[in-house]
Chains A and B, each alone.
Chain A
Amino acid sequence: MGDLHAPFSGSWFEPARPSAPWDTTEHSFNTLMEHYERLVFSDDPDHDFPKLDTFMGFDLKLKAMTSAYMELMAAINQLNLLNVEAATAAFAEADLTSLELEPAKDRAESDWPQVIDTNIVEMQRSEAYLSAKSEYVTCLTRFQKQYRALLESFQEYNHMPTLSEYEDLSKTVHELKRDIWAMKKQQS
């Protein structure tokens, strides 16, 4: 039995026949999807695709935001990993078999949290953690920028003011307020 999910891939065992119109349509569609996927799912994050029209502008922003979100999640996981490593390091080194029940309980209530806390505090000042934090900030910023760009596209297409436009306006108002304050001070 042929692969039901790939009806056009097993034609080698069938006798040659003239192309049917639906074959051509399917082929064209597949080709189109192939090109589309090549464009939209390109692995090159630095490539600045031309924003050709409304759809593509929105589409690429959505893609960029999704990509930034994945990177942000990876950065958060890295930070969590370092925290968990620091928190469990003390347990990894301890010989739990030699501990009696009651003293172990006491330790769990007093010493262990302190040991974990000390480990985490030290780890948070390490180069590895600070680098991971730096990566997190970069990813967080990229995600927020892409998220904002996507929303601003939506706002523009729907006749709504964007945050960037609002910032322009608020800057003007802020400068005016400062000028008025300075003039009042001069007069008094």
Chain B
Amino acid sequence: MGNEEAAIMNQAIWDIGDVADYSSKVQSGIDNLIDITDADIVVGGSPKDSVFTVDKVTLYKYRAITGAEDSQQEPILITYSLFGRYSMLDLQTDRSVVRNLLLKGHTVYIVDWGNPNKSDRWLSYDDYVGRYLSDCVDHICGAHNLEKISIFGVCEGGTFAACYAALNPDKVGSLILAVTPVDFHADQASPEPAKRGYLSAMMQKLGRQQLSDMIDAYGCLPGHLSGAVFREMTLMDSLKKYGVDLVDSVSGTKESALNFLRMEKWLLDRPHHPAEAAKQWLIDFYHENKLVQGTFEVNGEAILLQNLCMPVLNIFAKHDHIVPPAASKALRDQVPSDCHYSELELRAGHIGAFVSRNANAAISEAISNWIPALTRAPASTATSQAHSLDQRSA
């Protein structure tokens, strides 16, 4: 056999082995999908109790975990975005920011915004910040006989939290924001296209009336539409995920297939965004950048980030394609000069910040350290607790 023939034969053998491997994976994937039921794909499974409801909004308190550390820190209220479900923070036992905080002994509350439909089209930030979030904070303060609590806001939930804290600084012991845009145009100056946020570029291109008409035509910002935009932003990843990578994702052990399916279940469960609040998000924030200009109002009161005088921890993700780091980091220049402000940059993406094992552990640790003690610790203590973070000099 000549060298050329041997090379062809080797290639053929390699190909046959490859096909056999692939076939085995397909078989394993099919076995997993037959074995797994929808009820097996549990997202957000940490035990919790409903402690307060208003309209479609529910405030949950997570049950303490037996054997958890003893903590004497303020309760923490988590607010998530209206574009997804809060269960992202409790995706599964080994990737749960909520569970990590519970293990450290924290008292954890979370707001579930429910399933807004077209009857909720008039809900705006006046309602989400001025009524719902305000009522949740009052309820927790009342239940624990406290004057203030810590708030941890994620993405749009971070914007809710920042607005609330700016209006009610006396009720917020510390503010933690994660992947939260503040200056919605900050990323557009980057010379690298990939670092310029697609959402920001698109919303600036679209006119105010154009955006308003689109939302009015639907009576909301439909979940499937926002989901499609998110998939469009990572087009190749989306195509690979449901194409060549799918067999890898569902094959292997049942637990590894469940990891994939839990994430997919969460991604596909996108609630509709109420119309008026969606207009504020897309037009007032993304198109007109009102938050950093101090011209955004809730119930007629201007949101001034200069009012954020409580300790602020700002967490952002280096590879975030939805909220580029520059849009979050802009908060540094907005808070008052005497504010205890820290940043934590995670080597992750927008969602990976909460579900990848390393980022998940880092974010939980940072939050746990940032929450002040119940008996108000001096600001300097909070600073020393967060020694591992990039502390801005006051």
CB pair B55–A140 under 8 Å, yes or no, is no
Chain A residue at smallest Cβ distance from B192: A122
> Which B residues, 226 to 244, have Cβ-Cβ distances below 8 Å to chain A?
232-237, 240
Which residue on chain B has the smallest CB distance to residue A142? Answer: B217
- Cβ-defined contact, B217 with A145, below 8 A: yes
B127 interface residue, CB < 8 Å from A?
A: yes
Given contacts A113-B240, A134-B206, contact A140 B214 (CB under 8 A): yes
**Majority SS of interface residues in chain A?**
helix
A-facing mask of B65-103, CB < 8 A → 1, else 0? Answer: 000000000000000000000000000000000000000
- Chain B, residues 180-195, CB within 8 Å of chain A (1/0): the string is 0000000000000110
Assembly CA distance A45 to B206 (angstroms) = 22
A residues in contact with B211, CB < 8 Å: 137
- B210 to A122, Cβ gap below 8 A? no
B11 touches A121 (CB 8 A): no
The count of residues in chain B whose C-beta lies closer than 8 Å to any C-beta of chain A is 33
* A118 adjacent to B194 (CB under 8 Å): yes
A residues within 8 A CB of B237? 117
Tell whether, in the assembled complex, residue A130 and residue B236 are in contact, meaning their CB atoms are under 8 Å apart.
no
CB of B52 closer than 8 Å to a CB of A: no
Question: Which of the residues A138, A144, A173 comes within 8 Å of B218, measured between beta carbons?
Answer: A144
Instruction: Tell me the smallest distance from the CB of A72 to a CB of chain B, in Å.
Output: 12
Is the CB–CB distance between A125 and B206 below 8 Å?
no
Q: Are B121 and A167 in contact (CB under 8 A)?
A: yes
Flag if A121 contacts B194 (CB, 8 Å). Answer: yes
Which of B11, B210, B232, B236 is within 8 Å of A116, CB to CB? Answer: B236
User: Which residues of chain B are within 8 angstroms of A64 by Cβ–Cβ distance?
Assistant: none
Extra contacts, 5 of them, besides A134-B205, A170-B119 (Cβ < 8 A), are A124-B232, A134-B206, A167-B219, A178-B127, A178-B131
Chain B residues within 8 Å of A, Cβ to Cβ: 11, 55, 118-123, 126-127, 131, 193-194, 196, 198, 201-202, 205-206, 210-211, 213-214, 217-219, 232-237, 240
Chain A positions within 8 Å of B, measured between CB atoms, are 83, 101, 113, 116-118, 120-122, 124-125, 130-131, 133-134, 137-138, 140-141, 144-145, 148, 163, 166-167, 170-171, 173-175, 177-178, 181
Q: List 27 A-B contacts (CB under 8 A).
A: A113-B236, A113-B240, A117-B234, A118-B194, A121-B194, A124-B198, A124-B232, A124-B233, A125-B193, A130-B201, A133-B202, A133-B205, A134-B206, A137-B210, A141-B210, A141-B217, A145-B217, A166-B118, A170-B118, A170-B119, A170-B121, A170-B122, A171-B122, A174-B123, A177-B55, A178-B131, A181-B131
